[in-house]
Amino acid sequence: MEEARNKRMLELFTPGRATMMAGGHNALLIEDQGYPKRCGHFEGKAVIPAAEMVQKIKAAVDTRHDDDFLVLARTDARANEGLDAALERMRAYAEAGADLLFLEAPLSRSELARIPREVPGAHIANVVHGGKTPMLGRDEFAALGFAGILYANAAMQAAILAMQRTLASLQRVGSLQEMGDELSSFADRQLAVGYEDWIALERRYAGDASS
């Protein structure tokens, strides 16, 4: 039964990996969180058995055709099973072939320090403003042994605050005069949405409307 399940995983992973690599992607994130999927800093998370996650990682590793395509393994086990169990999962995921390791939502600097110290490999930290993990500086994360940092939601949270401030100013002042210096220029807006590229496509394919 285990052999049949592994074969099925390979069948499912193969077309997806090929599509991602052909599209220029260079990494795949696989996580052991169950459904319904939740933010790693939410309550009420569940995780699948470690053995099942190991097989998923092995299937992803076995089906990649480029050694530069990385497999990132994430565990959310800290919330329900504790840090020791989460570290044990990280060891198993590394042994299964994961290139990058991501233990989500450690609760303190001491917990963060244990991760690279006790599990060999390249580790990723996730910083969420207002979340569960301490917001250490980049140099401090590097000193602890982390290879990279994710700043999940940072741009979105900044955008939410900017929209709130702009709309509040509009309500209070009745114009954009107060917020003008806080808004991007129209040219920057056009650049961000790729306006010139869309216009070039329109010119190329619009043709003669009368024909």
pLDDT, average across residues 178-203: 94
Q: How confident is the model at residue 4 (pLDDT cuts 50, 70, 90)?
A: low
pLDDT value of position 206 = 85
pLDDT digits (tens, 9 = 90+) for 11-59: 555 555 455 545 567 899 999 998 888 886 878 788 899 999 999 999 9
Residue 69 predicted with pLDDT over 70 = yes
For residue 197, the surrounding DSSP H or E stretch is: helix 195-205
Does 137 score more than 90 pLDDT? yes
Each residue of 70-112: pLDDT tens digit? 999 999 999 889 999 999 999 999 999 999 999 999 999 999 9
Nearest to 127, CA basis, from 105, 95, 108:
105
Q: Is pLDDT above 50 for 211?
A: no
Percent of the chain with pLDDT over 90: 68
Other Cβ atoms less than 10 A from the Cβ of 199: the count is 11
Q: How far is the C-alpha of 196 from the C-alpha of 5, rounded, in Å?
A: 49
Strand arrangement of the beta sheet that strand 100-103 belongs to: 27-31, 70-75, 100-103, 122-126, 148-150
Q: For residue 209, what pLDDT is reported?
A: 54
pLDDT category at 154 given cuts 50, 70, 90 is very high
Give the amino acid at 45: K
- In angstroms, the first-to-last Cα distance of the chain is 63
CA angle 71, 51, 92 (to 5 degrees): 55
Q: What's the mean pLDDT when you consider all of the chain? A: 87
